[in-house]
Amino acid sequence: MTDQEIGNLLYEEALRFVNRRFPRGWGGCAAMMTEQGKLLLSVALESFNGSAGLCMETGAMCQAQKENLKITHTLCISRDAPGDTPVILTPCGICQERLMYWGKGVKAAVTNPENRILFRTLEALAPCHWADAFPEEEQEHSCG
């Protein structure tokens, strides 16, 4: 599959999930594709204590680590109300750090004025990443 085909699939599956899971009010979802062809979906862990919450991407990343899957693409959407066009959200800095576990080549859908599905590698999002100070063999990566 091409990046555009993967992006379209992730977007459609995330939107379908959001509309089912959040029939009223706000809704959001992260969708990730793995090298093994598995699609992972997750939502934010909300908490009365805001500092205890977790980003939408976290659950899918935990599932990938648990199942020893390599994430290749990630897309996150959010909408304010049913019927609204969801916006694509670039992974926050913490999620970019978490995604780096699968390497600089992970492709993340990024926020853009046209709200198009555009992927950028983690390397493009963080060209001067701190891990570059260490030899590749010292960096922890997934799936061999």
Residue 73 lies in a domain: yes
Q: For residue 54, is it within any domain?
A: no
* Three-state SS at 95: helix
Is 74 part of any domain?
Answer: yes
Domain that includes residue 10, residue range: 3-42+67-137
Spatial distance between the Cα atoms of 25 and 1, rounded to a whole number of angstroms: 34
Residues forming beta bridges with residue 71, ordered by sequence position = 34
How far is it, in rounded angstroms, from Cα 123 to Cα 100? 9
- pLDDT for 29 equals 97
Number of domains forming the structure of the chain: 1
Distances (CA, A) of 22 to 2, 29, 69, 78, 79: 30, 10, 28, 11, 10
pTM for this prediction: 0.92
Extract the tokens encoding 93. Answer: 């800095």
CB 69 within 8 A of CB 36: yes
CATH assignment at residue 98: 3.40.140.10
User: Residue 10 corresponds to which amino acid?
Assistant: L
DSSP character string of 56-78: TTHHHHHHHHHTT--EEEEEEEE
pLDDT at 137: 77
CA distance 80 to 26: 4
Max CA distance (Å), the chain: 49
Q: What is the pLDDT of residue 141?
A: 67
Taking the chain (144 residues) in runs of 10, the rounded mean pLDDT of each run is 97 97 96 98 89 92 97 97 95 96 96 97 93 81 58
The verdict on residue 143 lying in a domain is no
